Structure 1
Amino acid sequence: MSYLLIGNISALICNDCIEPLANARIRVYLPATHAPATPQPNGIFNDMQPLSAREVLMKADRLLAETTLDEKGGFSLSWSEVHLFTETLELDLCLDQLPGKNGNRHPRNYHLSRLVLPWKRNSTGYVGAYAYVIPAALWQNIYSGAGAWLITGVVKPYFSAPGQPHLKVEAYNALSGRLLGIAHTDESGRYFLHFSRDQVGTGRPQAIIPGRKNLGPDVYFKVYRNNHLLWAEDERMGLSRERRDIAPCSNINLIYKSSKVKRASDQIGSWFSEIITLKGARKSKSDKFRLITQYSLL
Structure 2
Amino acid sequence: MNTIFKGSLRGYVCEDCREFISNVDVLLYLPYKETRLPDSPANAKDAFHVVTKEEAEQRKGLLIDKKTTDINGDFEFEINERYLNSDFDIDFVCGSVPPKHPKPKREELVQFHITTLAMKSELEKQAQDQNSRWNYTIAHKWWCYIRGHFFDAWVICGHLMNCKTNKPIANATVTAMDADFLTDDTLGAATTDANGHFRIDYSAADFKKTFLSPWINVETDPNFLSFESGPDVYFKAELAGTKLIDETKADARKNVGYCLCVNLCSEIAVTRPEETFPSAWSGIGNAFSSSYGTGIHDFDVNGFAGSGKNVLFSTIRLTGQAALKSASGYPIEYRFRVSHTTDLNTAASLPEANFTKTVGVTPGLFVKSTVSKLSRIVPAPLLNEIFVESDQSDFDPEGWFDVNHAIERTLISVGLTPADLALYNVIEEDTLISLDTTTLTTEPNVPNIFNAGQIVPDANKIDMEKIAIRFEIREVINKASNDFGVIGGDGKTLNSIVINNNPIYKKLAIKELEDSTLCSPITGIIHLKYTLYHPYLSTCSLTIKKNSDTDETYINDGVIDNPVLVDQRTNASSEINNPPTMARCTYIVRLYSSTRKHNGDYGDSDGSWPEEQLFFYNG
1:169 aligns with 2:174: yes
Aligned pair in 2 of structure 1 residues 127, 20: CA closer, same or farther (>3 Å)?
closer
Post-superposition offset of 1:121:
8.1
Aligned pair in 2 of structure 1 residues 18, 42: CA closer, same or farther (>3 Å)?
farther
1:231 aligns with 2:243: yes
Tell me what 1:206 maps to.
219
1:191 aligns with 2:195: no
Separation (CA, whole Å) in 2 of partners of 1:144 and 1:56 = 23
Post-superposition offset of 1:132:
2.3
Tell me what 2:85 maps to.
86
Post-superposition offset of 1:2:
1.8
Figure out how many residues of one structure are paired with residues of the other and give that number.
Answer: 258
Given candidates 211, 215, 221, the residue that maps to 2:235 is: 221
Post-superposition offset of 1:258:
1.1
Aligned pair in 2 of structure 1 residues 220, 32: CA closer, same or farther (>3 Å)?
closer
Separation (CA, whole Å) in 2 of partners of 1:27 and 1:5 = 13
Given candidates 132, 138, 143, the residue that maps to 2:142 is: 138
Tell me what 2:31 maps to.
31
Return the TM-score normalized by structure 2. 0.36
Contact 2:236–2:244 (Cα < 8 Å) also in 1: yes
Separation (CA, whole Å) in 2 of partners of 1:278 and 1:41 = 61
Tell me what 1:51 maps to.
51
Aligned pair in 2 of structure 1 residues 138, 78: CA closer, same or farther (>3 Å)?
closer
Post-superposition offset of 1:181:
1.9
Tell me what 1:285 maps to.
none
Separation (CA, whole Å) in 1 of partners of 2:79 and 2:241 = 56
Separation (CA, whole Å) in 1 of partners of 2:50 and 2:219 = 29
Aligned pair in 2 of structure 1 residues 207, 59: CA closer, same or farther (>3 Å)?
same
1:157 aligns with 2:162: yes
Tell me what 2:268 maps to.
258
1:100 aligns with 2:99: yes
SS at match of 2:174: strand
1:246 aligns with 2:256: yes
Output aligned runs, 1:118-133, within 5 Å: 118=121, 119-120=123-124, 129-133=133-137
Post-superposition offset of 1:98:
2.4
Aligned pair in 2 of structure 1 residues 233, 115: CA closer, same or farther (>3 Å)?
closer
Contact 1:64–1:79 (Cα < 8 Å) also in 2: no
Return the TM-score normalized by structure 1. 0.69
Separation (CA, whole Å) in 2 of partners of 1:229 and 1:103 = 36
Aligned pair in 2 of structure 1 residues 22, 238: CA closer, same or farther (>3 Å)?
farther
Separation (CA, whole Å) in 2 of partners of 1:17 and 1:138 = 14
Separation (CA, whole Å) in 1 of partners of 2:191 and 2:33 = 50
What letter corresponds to residue 248 of structure 2 in structure 1?
A: M
Aligned pair in 2 of structure 1 residues 77, 180: CA closer, same or farther (>3 Å)?
same
What letter corresponds to residue 238 of structure 1 in structure 2?
A: K
What letter corresponds to residue 153 of structure 1 in structure 2?
A: G
Aligned pair in 2 of structure 1 residues 43, 229: CA closer, same or farther (>3 Å)?
farther
Tell me what 1:266 maps to.
none
Tell me what 1:295 maps to.
none
Contact 1:219–1:237 (Cα < 8 Å) also in 2: no
Aligned pair in 2 of structure 1 residues 67, 188: CA closer, same or farther (>3 Å)?
farther
Contact 1:167–1:184 (Cα < 8 Å) also in 2: yes
Question: Identity of paired residues, percent?
Answer: 20
Separation (CA, whole Å) in 1 of partners of 2:165 and 2:244 = 22
SS at match of 1:156: strand
Separation (CA, whole Å) in 2 of partners of 1:129 and 1:83 = 22
Contact 1:43–1:115 (Cα < 8 Å) also in 2: no
Tell me what 2:593 maps to.
none
Post-superposition offset of 1:129:
4.2
Q: Which runs of 5+ in 2 are unaligned?
A: 211-216, 270-285, 288-294, 301-306, 308-426, 428-619
Which structure has more relative contact order (CA 8 Å, sep 6+)? It is: 1
1:234-277 Cα distance to aligned partner (Å, 9 max, x none) = 5x62332x522222211112211116xxxxxxxxxx99xxxx73
SS at match of 2:82: coil
Post-superposition offset of 1:86:
0.8
1:108-159 Cα distance to aligned partner (Å, 9 max, x none) = 2100112322221888xx9984322322333333344233321111122223
Aligned pair in 2 of structure 1 residues 188, 69: CA closer, same or farther (>3 Å)?
farther
Separation (CA, whole Å) in 2 of partners of 1:134 and 1:66 = 19
Aligned pair in 2 of structure 1 residues 23, 156: CA closer, same or farther (>3 Å)?
farther
Aligned pair in 2 of structure 1 residues 280, 258: CA closer, same or farther (>3 Å)?
closer
Contact 1:2–1:78 (Cα < 8 Å) also in 2: no
Tell me what 2:417 maps to.
none
Contact 2:245–2:266 (Cα < 8 Å) also in 1: no
Aligned pair in 2 of structure 1 residues 222, 97: CA closer, same or farther (>3 Å)?
same
Contact 2:126–2:133 (Cα < 8 Å) also in 1: no
Contact 2:156–2:261 (Cα < 8 Å) also in 1: yes
Aligned pair in 2 of structure 1 residues 62, 195: CA closer, same or farther (>3 Å)?
same
Aligned pair in 2 of structure 1 residues 243, 72: CA closer, same or farther (>3 Å)?
farther
Aligned pair in 2 of structure 1 residues 239, 96: CA closer, same or farther (>3 Å)?
farther
SS at match of 2:248: helix
Aligned pair in 2 of structure 1 residues 158, 221: CA closer, same or farther (>3 Å)?
same
Contact 2:174–2:238 (Cα < 8 Å) also in 1: yes
What letter corresponds to residue 31 of structure 2 in structure 1?
A: P
1:178 aligns with 2:185: yes
Separation (CA, whole Å) in 2 of partners of 1:182 and 1:103 = 21
SS at match of 2:12: strand
Contact 2:30–2:87 (Cα < 8 Å) also in 1: yes
What letter corresponds to residue 198 of structure 1 in structure 2?
A: A
Post-superposition offset of 1:61:
4.7
